[in-house]
Amino acid sequence: MLLLLFKESLLFAWQSLVVNKLRSFLSLLGITIGIFAIILVFTIVDALENNIRGSIQSLGNNVVFIQKWPWSFDPNQPWWEYMKRPTPQYYELDGLQKKCKTTEAIAYRMGKRKTIKYKNSSIQNAIIGGISFEYYKIKNFEVNSGRYFTMGEIEAGYRYAIIGAEIAKGLFPNEDPLGKEIKIAGNRATIIGTIKKEGESVLGPSFDYQVIIPFNFARVMMDPKREGADPTIYVKAKPGVTNAQMMDELTGVLRGIRKLKPMADVNFALNETSLLSKGFDALFDVIGTAGWIIGGFSILVGGFGIANIMFVSVRERTNLIGIQKSLGAKNLFILFQFLSESVILSTVGGFFGLLLTYFITVLGKDSIEMDISLTSANIILGFTISILIGIISGFIPAYGASQLDPVEAIRSN
């Protein structure tokens, strides 16, 4: 019985919406804009968040970066104290590898932008990274063709290079780069491998734009003692070892290597990706709140529009309501009839808002190098908001219609 009542209410509501096409269109327009604004913001935020978290993930959740500068500053420590710190040095790598028991891999890297050339082609400001052997165990990149360096090649400083996909595309558009000789800041190097294309990263240039070479070759063209080379020691924890446990050991070992007195402050920073994640969490919360506020105003206007149209609809059909009630229609039937009309209006508006968002995301994929798509969670959210707005906006007019006296309603015309 209740199902039949609901079905008849929906039928009456749909017929009313079809008859009043212009009014229906104007009513759902506000909901369409509101749902579009909210879901588009959330879709973009989700895509940006996935991209950033993917980039952070590529750094490694179980990796600690030994550097001169911390990623999060202590407000109680003067900045000049950080300035006096030495940069991480290559010899410290050997001491850490010998003494640390909680680490799976330890690697050193320094880098600088240089000009690289091949015949008449050149790329300016290419990122040149001088690395130690275990770098590949920590950084997530894949050698697409050729091979990685051997330990002997790293230690002896062989003039070999592995280049990123965009570097290969720029210098060797029509030929295989393997075995070719390039010049890096005037220094000859033979290409022994290429790195598989990664795509853009919001945390900085990906391996697509990098050339990696043995550390002892890199020191010919850059000084690890200078901050401009951004010298960093990467340390990866063994399975089952937490970052906190590894950082405790690293602190003790590195203090010993640098011969710091027991009461002296540390002169190095141990950075981990959780610091980046926390900073971005706060940013995403702010953007999400802004999305609710921007779309909320549009939905509020759309909700008032639906409520206003429903009041007009009740007034126009007062005589019909009286006839229906005199023929035995229950209050619940009248309530459902007008509430269904409001919900249908709002849901259709939400559907068009989601459809518009979908088209924007499809167009966006072609213009930006970021995976952006309308997720099922955001679709469900859009329809849920639409239905709730329809119920809230239409309840008072629908309830008022259901409480009309049939005799007075018939006489109203």
Q: What is the pLDDT of residues 183-216, one digit of tens each?
A: 999 899 999 999 998 776 655 567 888 999 999 9
**Cα torsion for 150, 153, 158, 164, to the nearest 10°?**
20
Mean pLDDT of the chain: 81
89-99 average pLDDT score = 91
The bridge status of strand 269-272 relative to strand 210-214 is unpaired
The helix/strand/coil state of 230 is coil
The answer for residues whose C-beta is within 8 angstroms of residue 35's C-beta and 6 or more apart is 295, 299, 349, 350, 353, 354, 357, 382, 385, 386
Pairing status of strand 143-146 against strand 121-131: unpaired
| More confident of the two residues 129 and 225 | 129
Backbone angles phi, psi at 211, to 5 degrees: -125, 125
The Cα–Cα gap between 253 and 101 comes to 10
pTM equals 0.64
The residue to which tokens 């005799």 are assigned: 407
Question: Where do the H-state alpha helices sit in 60-210?
Answer: 79-83, 90-99, 135-138, 151-156, 165-171
Q: Give CA–CA dist 190/119, Å, rounded.
A: 13
Instruction: Taking residues 30-35, report their average pLDDT.
Output: 78
What pLDDT score does 1 carry? 44
**pLDDT confidence of residue 233:** 93
Q: How confident is the model at residue 159 (pLDDT cuts 50, 70, 90)?
A: very high
CA dist., res. 376 & res. 301, Å (int): 26
Label residues 374-400 b or e (16+ Cβ within 10 Å = b). beeebbebbbebbeebbeebbbebbeb
Evaluate if residue 131 carries a pLDDT over 90. yes
Instruction: Tell me what pLDDT residue 213 has.
Output: 95
What's the average model confidence in pLDDT over 164-173? 91
- Residue 255: its pLDDT value, please? 92
Task: Quote the pLDDT of residue 55.
Answer: 63
CA–CA gap between residue 188 and residue 181 (Å, rounded): 7
Query: Looking at residue 211, what is its pLDDT?
Result: 94
How much is the average pLDDT of 153-177?
92
Look at residue 180 in the predicted model and tell me its pLDDT.
93
- pLDDT-derived band at 56, boundaries 50, 70, 90: low
160 Cβ contact list (under 8 Å, min separation 6)? 149, 153, 189, 190, 191, 192, 213, 214, 217
Range from 39-53, 110-124, 168-182, 373-387 carrying the lowest mean pLDDT:
39-53
Decide if pLDDT at 72 tops 90: no
CA distances (Å), 165 to each of 15, 129, 140, 368, in order?
60, 15, 15, 19
3-state secondary structure of 110: strand
Contact at 8 Å (CB) between 160 and 213?
yes
Query: Which of 177, 166, 161, 170 lies closest to 200, judged by CA?
Result: 166
- The per-residue pLDDT for 100 is 92
For the stretch 305-354, pLDDT in tens is 777 777 777 777 777 777 777 777 777 777 777 787 778 778 888 888 88
Task: Give yes or no for a contact between 161 and 184, defined as CB atoms under 8 angstroms apart.
Answer: yes
Highest mean pLDDT among 84-88, 280-284, 398-402: 84-88
Q: Name every residue whose Cβ is closer than 8 Å to that of residue 218 and which is 6 or more positions away in sequence.
A: 110, 128, 129, 130, 131
| pLDDT, tens digit, 9 for 90 and up, residues 223-277 | 888 878 889 999 998 988 888 899 999 999 999 999 998 888 888 989 887 666 6
